Amino acid sequence: MIVRGTLLSLAASESVKNAVTSAPGIGGVVTRFAAGESDDDAVRATSDLQDQGFAVTLDYLGEDTLDRAQADQTTGAYIRILARLADAGLTAGTEVSLKLSAVGQALPDDGAEISTDNAMAICAAAAEAGTTLTLDMEDHTTTDSTLGILRELRADFPQTGAVLQAYLYRTEADCRDLAHAGSRVRLCKGAYKEPPAVAFQDKADVDKAYVRCLKILMAGEGYPMIASHDPRLIDIAGALAVRHDRAKGTYEYQMLHGVRPDEQKRLAADGEKMRVYVPYGDDWWGYMVRRMAEKPANLALFLKSLSSTS
């Protein structure tokens, strides 16, 4: 728990980020979790995964921007990749995931408006390309704003997906609100460092909360997206699908690129819809820190690659 907290605090440190991300050869460990840096890398990885029977959600790496030009650049990157996916005939099985903080949510004064406009432009590009967008969920200070922007996006693009984090006390209520027909909801445990005032701290409590939330979503009329690598939760999701008479494809499993790939293959081979979350781009620091916090072995891998390249 202490390692997790310390690591997640590092995610916000610009000086650590600059020192580590400029280390030579560090890209080796990053490529286990990300598709690469360029649009070509993203399209190639998407095509490979679709060939193997997976659906994909692409995430252009970056978050917490306080620079308007950077927010607009990220918006452009999403619009560009959606056109590339459409040209390559890949949008039937691929959507995009977006962090609102990457398109301006944290900008002072009018961050909410700027990020709404940018997300709206990406939703329009996704619809034009024949696919959808899911809004990632970031730390709890952004939850209300993100759910508010989701409502605005859904007014024009009702298929826009939401993410809810089981570790937040509020999430059972949010699941009830969002378990309606046409609503796509990705349920994850939650990856940020949150205080006891808003979130369960104990892993067992987070797991129990996940099950309560999953029960609401699987019993509801929406489209649940079960984002977890936890074998017990995956089994429980399967049992709930049977209990609620849900056919395969009326819900889906989601896992991160590079995490439990054999389990991803097993679920796809069983005929389940299995979507892989694929990040790409060069701004990988925050994403990688969260992956290390989830699994200490990833930290060891990372440190090894640093020491072998310095």
Give the active site residues: 136, 186
- Looking at 3-11, 146-154, 187-195, 211-219, which segment touches ligand FAD (CB under 6 A)? 187-195
- Closest to 107 measured CA to CA, from 134, 77, 142: 142
Question: What span, in angstroms and rounded, lies between the C-alpha atoms of 137 and 82?
Answer: 21
Q: Is there a contact between 168 and 190 (Cβ–Cβ < 8 Å)? A: yes
How many residues are present in the chain? 310
- Hey, which residues between 239 and 278 contact ligand FAD (CB under 6 A)? 254-256, 259-260, 277
- Looking at 8-16, 82-90, 144-152, 188-196, which segment touches ligand FAD (CB under 6 A)? 188-196
The reply to whether 170 sits near ligand FAD by the rule CB under 6 A is no
Cβ 227 to ligand FAD, closest distance in Å? Answer: 4
Of the two residues 109 and 262, which places its CB atom closer to ligand FAD in the complex?
262
- Hey, which residues between 146 and 165 contact ligand FAD (CB under 6 A)? 163, 165
Q: Pattern 18-47, binding to ligand FAD, x per CB under 6 A?
A: ------------------------------
- Closest to 140 measured CA to CA, from 178, 205, 192: 192
The DSSP secondary-structure symbol of 259 reads S
- Closest to 229 measured CA to CA, from 267, 194, 201: 267
- Looking at 23-31, 124-132, 184-192, 280-288, which segment touches ligand FAD (CB under 6 A)? 184-192
Of the two residues 35 and 255, which places its CB atom closer to ligand FAD in the complex?
255
Question: What span, in angstroms and rounded, lies between the C-alpha atoms of 248 and 89?
Answer: 24
Q: What does the DSSP assignment read for 109-161?
A: TTHHHHHHHHHHHHHHHHHHHT--EEE----GGGHHHHHHHHHHHHHH-TT-B
Figure out which of the listed residues 112, 114, 188, 299 binds ligand FAD, where binding follows CB under 6 A: 188
Figure out which of the listed residues 56, 98, 227, 299 binds ligand FAD, where binding follows CB under 6 A: 227
Cβ 245 to ligand FAD, closest distance in Å? Answer: 25
Cβ 233 to ligand FAD, closest distance in Å? Answer: 6
Task: Check residue 255 and give left, alpha or beta (phi > 0: left; psi -120 to 50: alpha).
Answer: beta
**Chain centre distance of CA 123:** 16
The site for ligand FAD, by CB under 6 A, has a size of: 23
Of the two residues 83 and 260, which places its CB atom closer to ligand FAD in the complex?
260
Strand order in the sheet with 274-280: 133-135, 94-98, 55-60, 274-280, 252-256, 223-227, 184-188, 162-165
Figure out which of the listed residues 84, 170, 215, 229 binds ligand FAD, where binding follows CB under 6 A: 229
- Looking at 36-44, 147-155, 185-193, 212-220, which segment touches ligand FAD (CB under 6 A)? 185-193
Q: Is there a contact between 275 and 54 (Cβ–Cβ < 8 Å)? A: yes
Residues that bind ligand FAD (CB under 6 A): 136-137, 163, 165, 188-192, 227-230, 254-256, 259-260, 277, 291, 294-295, 298
